Amino acid sequence: MFSCSIKSQIELWNKPDVNLSTLTAVNSENDKGRAFLSFLRANNVQFKTVAKNLTYLIEMQKQQPLRGFRASNSFSTFHHSYHNFEDIITTFSSWCQQYRDVCKLMKIGKTHENRPILAATIEKENSNQKKSVLIECGIHAREWIAPAICMCIFQTLLQNQQNLEHHTFHMVPLLNPDGYAFSWRSQRLWRKNRRVNARNPRCSGVDLNRNFDINFCRVGASKDACSEVYCGPFAFSEPESKALRNFILNTAKPYATFHIHSYGQLIIHPHGYTRRKPPNAKNLNALAKRAVKNIKRNRGRSYKSGQTSSILYLSSGGADDWAFAKAKASLSYTIEGRDNGNYGFMLPQNQILPACTEVWIAISTILSENKNS
Ligand SMILES: [Zn+2]
C-alpha cells in the first residue's frame, strides 16, 4: 500500500501503527487519487471516505464561529476557534500579565524567521514542596489542536489555582511558530520547522521531534532533507529544539513532561527509539491506564495507552525520550489528542474544548495518581 501511495503521490497523514489498524490518506479526488482507491478495492482493503472536500475543511478551520465576530482574547471565547501565531502569543502574554502574581513570562528562544518562542512558569508561592511539570505544545506545525489545548490548560491553571498547590507548571504553548505560521498562510499540512536546508534548498524544514539528542537519526527518522521526518544535520541543530532543551535543563527541571500532539487518542510513554522497556515501565503504564479510564468514565471517549515503540512505531530523536533519558524526567508522556482519523488534523473548532478537557483529565490524573502511589 505504501509503494502504491507513493506512486500515486498520495499523502499519508500517519504511518500505520503496529496493528495496521488505521491509515489516513488524502488527495483522493484527482485521477491519481482515484487510481489509489481502485488499488484499495482490488486488494480488498477496507476504507471509508471521511471528507470529500479538504479545502472546505481547511477554510472552516480559519473561520470565526460567528460571522463578523472578531478574534477575541477574552477567556470565555478564545477556545471557540483556532488562532494564528500573532493571536496566540499576544493572548498568552496578556493572560500571564493579568495573573502576574502566579505567572512569569519568558522568551526562551528565537526561530530561523525571527519569531519569539515563549514560555511561562505558573507557580504559587506557599510552603508546600512543589514538583515541577512541563507541558509542551505545537512542535508539529499542522497539529493546530495542540497549541489550542495548551492555551486552554493555561487558562485552567491561572484560574483554578488549587492545581498549583503541589505542582509548578512550565508551559511552552507553541514550540514551532515558523512552521505554524506557514501552515496558516501557505501549506495547511506543513509539519516541520522552516530551516532553509543549505545543501538542498528545494526542501525546507527539520522535523523538530527527530532533532533531540537521543539515538539521533537511527530509526524512524531520515537524513533526507525532503523527508517529513528529516532529523536535521545534527542533534539540536535547530533553535526550537535547543530552546526547549535549555528551558528544561536550566529552568523547568521537570519530574514530569507532557508533549501534546494530534491525532490518534493515545497516551504513550518512553521508549520510542527502542523496544527496550524503561526501568519504571510498570508505573508509567499504570498511570497512563488510569488516565485512559478516567477519560472514558468522564467523557465517554476511548484512548489507548502503552509504550510508544510497541503501540506506534520506532522513532529516535523525540523530545519525550530525550526528556526522560537525558533530562531525568521520571514521567514523560506524549499525548496524541483527538481524533481517531475522521477529521485528523482538520479537527473542527467545536471540538477544541472537549479535546482539551480530555488532555487535562489525562495530565491531572497522572499527576495526582503518581502523588498517591
Ligand atoms: Zn506530532
List residues with catalytic annotation: 336
Task: Give the CA distances from residue 156 to residues 144, 166, 294, 355, in Å, rounded to whole numbers and listed in that order.
Answer: 19, 15, 18, 14
Burial class (CB in 10 A: 0-12, 13-18, 19+), 215: buried
Are 365 and 323 in the same domain?
yes
Are 80 and 43 in the same domain?
no
- Name residue, grid cell 536550566: 250
Are 94 and 142 in the same domain?
yes
Are 82 and 169 in the same domain?
yes
Are 216 and 341 in the same domain?
yes
Q: What is the mean pLDDT of the chain?
A: 89
Cell numbers at 110, concatenated: 528565537
Looking at residue 46, what is its pLDDT? 74
Query: Cα of 262 to ligand 1 centre, how many Å?
Result: 6
Domain annotation covers residue 275: yes
Q: Model confidence over 281-294: pLDDT tens digits? A: 999 999 999 999 99
Are 160 and 37 in the same domain?
no
Domain that holds residue 31: 2-49
Domain annotation covers residue 295: yes
Query: Cα of 176 to ligand 1 centre, how many Å?
Result: 11
Indicate whether this complex's ipTM tops 0.95.
yes
Cell numbers at 153, concatenated: 490548560
Q: Return the bridge partners of 25, or none.
A: 12
- Letter for the amino acid at 68? G
Are 142 and 205 in the same domain?
yes
Looking at residue 111, what is its pLDDT? 98
Query: Cα of 69 to ligand 1 centre, how many Å?
Result: 30
Query: Cα of 126 to ligand 1 centre, how many Å?
Result: 36
CATH code of residue 197? 3.40.630.10
Domain annotation covers residue 213: yes
Q: How far apart are CA 254 and CA 328, in angstroms?
A: 8
Percent of the chain with pLDDT over 90: 76
Cell numbers at 279, concatenated: 526501568
Are 121 and 6 in the same domain?
no
Q: Model confidence over 16-45: pLDDT tens digits? A: 555 545 556 665 556 667 777 787 788 877
Looking at residue 14, what is its pLDDT? 64
Domain count, the chain: 2
Domain annotation covers residue 169: yes
Q: Model confidence over 197-207: pLDDT tens digits? A: 988 899 999 99
Query: Cα of 98 to ligand 1 centre, how many Å?
Result: 31
Query: Cα of 185 to ligand 1 centre, how many Å?
Result: 20
